[in-house]
Amino acid sequence: MVLGTSVPFILEILMANAIPRPDLVAGIWNFSVNVGHDELVQLAKQWVDEDVNYKQICVRGTSRNTFGIQFVYRCEGVNARDADEETSAYRKWFYKMTDQLKRRFGNDLVSWDISSSSTDIVPDRNILRP
């Protein structure tokens, strides 16, 4: 941090780099202890190979001995905040994915936490340098 720079000034800089992205869906699919790390890695690789709209994806531990697939996905041509629209690209994608995962894993898909829009924070690493 630059000496003499106030917190409100720094927050203003950071907020200037906040970009609303209604087309980005971010979240995590959580699985039971019965679903192993390697199986989820293979599934995540398959998704990345089949769909260029995954911007970030990783398999990570979620709680004691369980794993999840964390992701950022781009829904093309959508205002994802229009969540009331049953035919929106976001809802189509979400229903397709939950159906696919429930059919494959049944009750071993234990939960998910997914947002229908995101805000990118793009740091300007040079702005605070002396």
CB 116 within 8 A of CB 90: yes
Q: Which of 58-62, 74-78, 84-88 has the largest mean confidence?
A: 58-62
HSE, side-chain direction, 13 A CA sphere, residue 101: 25
Q: Tell me: the pLDDT tens digits for 4-45?
A: 555 555 555 555 677 777 788 889 999 999 999 999 999 999
Helices (H), the chain: 7-16, 37-50, 89-105
> Does the pLDDT at position 82 exceed 80?
no
**Residue 61 bridge partners (DSSP):** 67
Average pLDDT over residues 64-71: 94
pLDDT band with cut points at 50, 70 and 90 for residue 3: very low
Return the pLDDT at 1.
45
Return the pLDDT at 115.
83
CB 66 within 8 A of CB 31: yes
Domains of the chain: 23-118 (3.30.70.260)
The whole-model pTM stands at 0.74
Return the pLDDT at 19.
75
Q: How many helices (H) and strands (E) does the chain have?
A: 3, 6
Instruction: Return all residues near 20 (Cβ < 8 A) that are at least 6 apart.
Output: 117, 119
* Alpha-carbon span 29 to 44, nearest angstrom: 11
Return the pLDDT at 80.
45
Identity of the amino acid at 59: V
* Alpha-carbon span 115 to 81, nearest angstrom: 10
Residue-averaged pLDDT of the chain: 81
